Structure 1
Amino acid sequence: MLVLLTFCALVSQVSPATTPAPQQVMRNWDQHACSLVVCGPAEKGLPGRDGRDGIQGPKGETGEQGLQGPRGIVGVPGKMGPIGPVGEKGSQGEKGPKGDAGEMGPRGIRGLQGPPGSSGPSGPQGQSGPQGQQGVKGETGPKGATGMQGPQGNTGAPGPKGDKGSVGERGEKGDVGARGLQGAAGAQGPEGRTGSPGSKGDKGSMGERGTKGDSGLSEVNLMKDKVSTLEGQLKALQASFSKYQKVAVFPSGQIVGNKVFVTSGYEGTFDDLKQKCLQAGGQLAAPRNAAENAAIQQIVVRHNKSVFLGITDIQTEGKFKYLNGDALVYSNWLPGEPNNDKGNENCVEVYVNGKWNDKSCGEKRLLLCEF
């Protein structure tokens, strides 16, 4: 028995200290002998005999500390122990970083309205708001004083015919205008009545005897020379007159045949325009064919203003005539014209399309004379 114990002690000392192993029970050498126990690295040397079979042997020397074994499996958590006493309050830690904003919670129930607060100080004046809608038109106020005459505007589209106005007072006679170009010679008037014979004059004194004249044949030749000279002068005058015509109408007039249509841009009533043309040695334009009417239309289009023609029915309502009393030989009325709307349309105007319309003579239109 003693020999076996000694053997067991030797075996445990010989076991490599570098090979950790869990506790294992070896086979029994004998039912009444000790069991060989191979232990893992002991913390305080080999354990001694349990002392059940024999006398406890001497305590062995402390062995060297073995290597740490692998970590064991976590065991089942034990029962919660009793709550320990409350520890002392620790010092306040540093402020942590701001956390992310949480989701908005459900809206709470609206609280009761509180009492009105005291009036605060007046705030700064706000910016002007947008312009409001136009209000209802107010009543017509009292007529103001007459303002200064504004600049002449462009002639607008013909408006509806107005009511016939009352005849105004006759205006003062205007200043005599500058003398115009020499007009074409008019037709010879009727022969005047023979005047009464004057009283016989006193007999004059005898004059000195003249020189002997040339024969009649020489006088005929001289007359022919004078006629030839006059014809040359007439051709030169005609050429000069043609040049003057072109200068006079550039760029405000038109030449058609022997007629020249000229405007100065002035505007006035029918009587005013008629007087201006007479003072210049001409008369209001009065077309007698389509070519002359087309020339007038070009001037109307260029100035974008209607003109009055030298045609009226003032003497006999509905019978339009030229200013010298002759009946019309050409017309270019708009459809439905003349209609003498409201009984006050005795003059004739020309639109930009060349069509005619009867109009009140008191309206103002563009001056257009013919020479």
Structure 2
Amino acid sequence: MEMRSNLYANSEVAAGNRSYSEASEYSYEDVYVNEDNMDAHKTRSTEKPAKIASGTNTAGSTCHRLTAVCLGLLCVLLLAAITVLWVKFTAERNQLQTRLNNVTNQNEQLKDNCCQNKLAAIDLYGQQGWFYFRSKLYYISLEMKTWSEGRQDCNNRGADLVIINSREEQEFTVKMVGNSKAWIGLTDTAKEGEWKWVDGTEFTTEYWKENEPNDIDNNEDCVEQTNKKGWNDNACSEKQMWICEKSAF
């Protein structure tokens, strides 16, 4: 009886040991399975952000490349525009410089011509009594003749009786006359009251003395410059000094 009791007891112990062993095996297997599941979960958890990060990096790189390309194109266009403007500016500057050079050369030539002519006029004045004033030469006679004779003398000198067109010229001829009188190139011999210069033009500026012209005895058809800073009509047969005028150039 005791032997049976021991056998049963041993059987129960063995069964208990198998149960414990099996439970232990299951426990270890569950741990391994759980660890595998956790590793797999960790792997999936880490893979997703990697994929997301990879996608984000790809989009960012593409955006950066597009930005770089756009900036490059803008730089190229800006450089092209600057080049075109520079070429245009250079061409216009060269044209302006050429025009300026031409004008400068022309001015220098005019100066040279003017100075040469003025020197020639001064020499002429020193030799024959001509005065230079504003591109014109003026001669006042030292003798007295009628209006027609005085004009003929001017013609013989390559000139004509003076034509006065400005206040400055009027004042200049008054100084030439001084305290005397001198014929000028104004007359109404063709038609009474229609005063004309010797070149056939009507006068547009007049410097008559007070109460002149008065045509005394209906015989005063020629004009003289007086020392009173004004014109006076007188008989053309009167003998006066005269003033000739011609271009200096």
TM-score, length of structure 1 as denominator length: 0.35
Task: Work out whether 1:330 is the aligned partner of 2:197.
Answer: no
Q: Does 1:259 align with 2:136?
A: yes
Choose from 184, 191, 201 the match for 1:309: 184
Query: Could you tell me how far apart the structure 2 residues matched to 1:234 and 1:258 are?
Result: 12
| Aligned residue identity for 1:337 | E
Q: Aligned to 1:300, which of 170, 173, 177? A: 177
Separation (CA, whole Å) in 2 of partners of 1:307 and 1:328: 18
Quote how far apart the aligned CAs of 1:264 are: 3.7
Is residue 255–residue 295 contact of structure 1 (8 Å, CA) maintained in 2? no
Give 1:284's aligned amino acid.
Answer: L
- In structure 2, the residue corresponding to 1:239 is in which secondary structure? helix
Is the counterpart of residue 240 in structure 1 residue 126 in structure 2? Answer: no
- Alignment check: 8 A CA contact 2:181 2:227 kept: yes
Distance in 1 of aligned mates of 2:216 and 2:125: 35
TM-score normalised over the length of structure 2 = 0.52
1:369 and 2:244 equivalent?
Answer: yes
Q: 1:270 matched to which residue of 2?
A: 147
Q: Would the aligned equivalents of 1:254 and 1:295 in 2 still touch at CA under 8 Å?
A: no
- How far 1:261 sits from its partner (Å)? 1.4
Between the aligned partners of 2:228 and 2:132, the Cα distance in structure 1 is 19
Q: CA deviation at 1:322?
A: 0.6
Structure 2: tracts of 5 or more residues without a match: 1-104
Partners of 1:256 and 1:291 within 8 A in 2: no
Greater RCO (Cα-Cα under 8 Å, separation 6 or more): 2
- Which has a greater percent of helix? 2
Distance 1:231 1:292, change over 3 A: closer
What displacement does 1:236 show?
A: 4.2
Matched residue SS, 1:368? strand
Alignment check: 8 A CA contact 2:209 2:229 kept: no
Give the counterpart letter for 2:133 in structure 1: V
Q: Deviations over 1:187-225 (max 9, x none)?
A: xxxxxxxxxxxxxxxxxxxxxxxxxxxxxxxxxxxxxxx
- Report the CA distance shift for 1:264/1:308 in structure 2 as closer, same or farther (over 3 A): closer
Once the two structures are superposed, the pairs formed by residues 120-199 of structure 1 within 5 Å of their partners are none
Answer with 1 or 2: which has the greater Rg. 1
State percent identity of aligned pairs: 26
Question: Secondary structure of 1:310's partner?
Answer: strand
Q: CA deviation at 1:246?
A: 2.2
Tell me by how many angstroms 1:240 deviates: 1.9
Shift of 1:300: 0.6
Cα deviations across residues 314-367 of structure 1 (Å, max 9, x unaligned)?
111011111121111111111111111001000001111221110000011113
1:354 maps to what in 2?
229
8 Å Cα contact 1:347/1:360 also seen in 2: yes
- Tell me the alpha carbon deviations over residues 54-73 of structure 1, each in whole angstroms, 9 at most, x when there is no partner: xxxxxxxxxxxxxxxxxxxx
1: CA distance between counterparts of 2:234 and 2:109?
47
- CA deviation profile, 1:254-308 (whole Å, cap 9, x unmatched): 433222211241321111111111111111012111110111111111xx32001
For 1:277, give the aligned amino acid: C
Q: Distance in 1 between matches of 2:108 and 2:168?
A: 32
2:207 and 2:152 map into 1 onto residues whose CA distance is 25
Q: Which amino acid aligns with 2:135?
A: N
Give a deviation string over 1:130-168, Cα, whole Å, max 9, x none. xxxxxxxxxxxxxxxxxxxxxxxxxxxxxxxxxxxxxxx
Which secondary structure state, in structure 1, belongs to the residue aligned with residue 232 of structure 2? strand
Amino acid aligned to 1:255:
Y
Alpha-carbon distance between aligned partners in 2 of 1:352 and 1:325, rounded to the nearest angstrom: 26
CA contact (8 A) 2:118 2:132 kept: no
Question: Kindly tell me: are residues 234 and 334 of structure 1, through their superposed partners in 2, closer, same or farther at Cα, counting changes over 3 Å?
Answer: closer
What stretches of structure 1 of length at least 5 have no aligned partner?
1-228
Indicate the residue corresponding to 2:161 in structure 1: 284
What's the counterpart of residue 80 of structure 2?
none
SS for the counterpart of 1:330 is coil
The 5 Å alignment of 1:100-139 reads none
Aligned partner letter, 1:335: E
